């Protein structure tokens, strides 16, 4: 980074002018994330940002970024809110996977993949959860066996957002079964389209097929596919989960544009109230006021925790605090929207001008915000144990070699 770095205000003005001259206004509703067209469009928008000099604002210059500060990123994010942005690439590609590669990857991995991500040439996803694993990530049974100077991957992962459209996945697999479960894991960078990888899409209650399940059948991985250290996968996954909490909580410095589903925006509630003739109703006005207040608290909490982690006042695990709050705020926002919409939330008519289609779909999907980025129960555990220093909860398999832990088949 040069000493004559552009000031935040200079950067803001330049970004404002460029955005106005280059990008289209943001569409009134978020486009579905389960079509090839949507992902290709996001890639194109990311390339526009890159070519315009506004991609990877906080990524180092040696890996294709701008090497600027979080304040520069915050200024660009604020200015970009009215415009169409490649939001699909924010999570997990930029905020989680690319950020994890920046922290954990070899120099070759970073120079190969990070510039490609910032150009929109590569999409990265997470291969973490397993069909029978629940919230016990360290209890996974997908395995990678060493074969000379390569690895053979077998197993299955699930709930991978956008995997069908991705190029690479960060995959956690077991590489040593003779040690306790946290000690025998390794993180790999897996080509999604490699021989032996099968991706199946999962249809949700909303009709979306964004989530996927993956099957790995004798997938051959080279030695340089390891991210971090062999058998050091839990430390690598912990760093990845830190970035995941930051992304879901709104504290990540690697995203641009609006942050959908961090609690919604109360403007939608006001439109709903007007469209349904309830804008004069005192109860509805109180509900909208509460929603606005919660969003203000959310933004202040994100700013406070971000600063505290950056200065060392709070540990990185404190990212679980805004992640938990954002989930609870998302519930409040979606519940409030449905209460205002009433029957219209279930009987949407195209063109009714009240966003009632998204109200109904958001309500059906509301439980996801208690699970994405780790469940809210896990967030509470992280806060209690790693921020407040409370004792860890009991675990029957702690310090037991994994091949001696009973588990179903």
User: Which residues span the domain enclosing 339?
Assistant: 261-387
Cβ neighbors of 204 (< 8 A, separation 6 or more) are 210, 211, 365
Distance CA 44, CA 56 (A): 15
Total domains in the fold of the chain: 3
Nearest to 157, CA basis, from 190, 126, 191, 122 = 126
**What are residue 284's DSSP bridge partners?**
none
Residues 117 and 132 both lie in one domain: no
Helix (H), strand (E) at residue 384: none
User: What's the token pair of residue 30?
Assistant: 């978020």
Q: What is the pTM of this model?
A: 0.90
Helix (H), strand (E) at residue 260: none
CB atoms within 10 A of CB 379: 25
Residues 35 and 111 both lie in one domain: yes
Residues 190 and 92 both lie in one domain: no
Residues 205 and 323 both lie in one domain: no
CATH of the domain at 84: 1.10.540.10
pLDDT per residue rounded down to tens, the chain (409 residues): 444 679 999 999 999 999 999 999 998 767 778 899 999 999 999 999 999 999 999 999 999 999 999 999 999 999 999 999 999 999 999 999 999 999 999 999 999 999 999 999 999 999 999 998 778 899 999 999 999 999 999 999 999 999 999 999 999 999 999 999 999 999 999 999 999 999 999 999 888 999 999 999 999 999 999 999 999 999 999 999 999 988 888 889 999 998 765 544 557 898 889 888 999 999 999 999 999 999 999 989 999 998 999 899 999 999 999 999 999 999 999 999 999 999 888 887 666 655 677 888 888 888 888 888 788 999 999 999 999 999 998 888 989 999 999 876 6
Residues 118 and 150 both lie in one domain: no
């Amino acid at each position: 980074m040069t000493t004559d770095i552009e000031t935040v205000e200079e950067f803001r003005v330049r970004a404002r002018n460029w955005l106005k001259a280059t990008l289209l206004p943001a569409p009134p509703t978020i486009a579905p994330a389960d079509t090839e067209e949507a992902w290709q469009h996001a890639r194109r928008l990311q390339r526009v940002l890159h070519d315009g000099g506004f991609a990877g604002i906080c990524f180092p210059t040696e890996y294709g970024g701008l090497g600027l500060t979080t304040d520069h990123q915050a200024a660009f994010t604020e200015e970009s809110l009215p415009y169409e942005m490649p939001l699909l690439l924010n999570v997990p590609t930029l905020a989680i996977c690319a950020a994890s590669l920046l922290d954990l990857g070899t120099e070759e991995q970073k120079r190969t993949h990070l510039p490609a991500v910032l150009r929109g040439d590569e999409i990265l996803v997470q291969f973490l959860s397993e069909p029978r694993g629940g919230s016990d990530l360290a209890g996974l049974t997908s395995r990678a066996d060493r074969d000379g100077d390569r690895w053979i991957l077998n197993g299955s992962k699930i709930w991978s957002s956008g995997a069908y459209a991705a190029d690479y996945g960060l995959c956690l697999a077991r590489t040593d079964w003779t040690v306790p479960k946290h000690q025998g894991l390794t993180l790999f960078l897996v080509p999604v389209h490699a021989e032996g990888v099968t991706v199946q899409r999962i249809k949700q209650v909303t009709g979306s097929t964004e989530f996927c399940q993956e099957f790995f059948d004798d997938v051959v991985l080279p030695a340089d596919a390891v991210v971090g250290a062999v058998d050091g996968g839990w430390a690598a996954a912990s760093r990845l989960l830190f970035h995941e909490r930051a992304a879901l909580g709104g504290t990540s410095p690697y995203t641009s544009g609006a942050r959908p589903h961090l609690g919604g925006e109360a403007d939608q509630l006001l439109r709903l109230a007007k469209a349904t003739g309830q804008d004069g109703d005192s109860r509805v006005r109180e509900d909208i006021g509460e929603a606005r207040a919660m969003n203000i608290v959310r933004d202040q909490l994100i700013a406070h925790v971000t600063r505290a982690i950056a200065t060392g006042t709070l540990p990185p695990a404190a990212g679980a605090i805004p992640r938990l709050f954002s989930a609870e705020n998302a519930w409040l926002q979606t519940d409030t929207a449905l209460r205002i919409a009433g029957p219209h939330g279930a009987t949407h008519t195209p063109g009714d001008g009240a966003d009632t289609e998204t109200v109904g779909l958001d309500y059906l999907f509301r439980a996801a915000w208690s699970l994405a980025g780790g469940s809210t129960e896990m967030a509470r555990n992280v806060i209690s144990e790693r921020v407040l220093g409370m004792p860890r909860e009991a675990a029957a398999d702690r310090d037991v070699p994994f091949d001696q832990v009973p588990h179903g088949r």
